[in-house]
């Protein structure tokens, strides 16, 4: 398994290759998604002490339920599915936070309640889904995940190869 530093470096090396195949008008969205995927939404978020988990600092507590439900190299390391689960998890956290804040504001902050009612979270998410740049952002997150998983597979293969080779020497 590659270390966090190795994943970060390898992913950054692959970004120019990805941009070569990305339409220029979406470079920024793709790059933002790729960097978010590399540094914050990595498949290694399933480990509480991984670099991506630590990068969330105090907000890393938000990922504890995810870490309890996902064993390392399990669901989080399945291409596309892992990214979908992490993005879906963030979406659920957003919706949960909105409704908790709305409930709190109803009793304790009526002014905030009026402000929150101006935002329909489902309509907001729906309008985001219609934007082409959001597709390229998500594609960037997926691309970073694919390179992460490929590096994991390569390092596991070479580690197994080295172990088998050292056993033959004995």
Which residue has tokens 């996902």?
70
- CA-CA distance, 12 to 10, in Å (whole number)? 5
> What pLDDT sits at residue 80?
94
- pLDDT at residue 166 tops 80: no
CB 34 within 8 Å of CB 11: yes
> What pLDDT sits at residue 69?
87
Query: Rounded mean pLDDT of 2-7?
Result: 69
pLDDT in tens, 108-159: 998 999 999 999 999 999 999 999 999 999 999 999 999 999 999 998 887 7
CA distances from 6 to 38, 43, 84, 143, 151 (A): 11, 14, 24, 16, 9
pLDDT in tens, 75-101: 888 999 999 999 999 999 999 999 999
* pTM for this entry: 0.86
- CA-CA distance, 14 to 152, in Å (whole number)? 15
Confidence of residue 169 (pLDDT cuts 50, 70, 90): low
């Amino acid at each position: 398994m590659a270390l966090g530093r190795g994943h970060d470096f390898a992913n950054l090396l692959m970004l120019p290759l990805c941009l070569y195949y990305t339409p220029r008008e979406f470079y920024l969205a793709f790059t933002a998604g790729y960097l978010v995927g590399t540094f914050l939404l990595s498949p290694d978020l399933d480990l509480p002490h991984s670099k991506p988990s630590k990068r969330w600092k105090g907000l890393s507590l938000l990922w504890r339920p995810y870490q309890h439900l996902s064993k390392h190299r399990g669901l989080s390391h399945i291409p596309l599915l892992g990214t979908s689960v992490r993005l879906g998890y963030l979406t659920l956290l957003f919706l949960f936070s909105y409704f908790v804040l709305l409930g709190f504001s109803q009793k304790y902050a009526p002014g905030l309640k009026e402000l929150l009612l101006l935002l329909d979270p489902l309509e907001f998410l729906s309008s985001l889904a219609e934007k082409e740049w959001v597709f390229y952002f998500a594609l960037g997150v997926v691309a970073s995940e694919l390179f992460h998983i490929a590096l994991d597979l390569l390092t596991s293969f070479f580690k197994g190869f080295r172990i088998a080779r050292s056993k033959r020497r004995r």
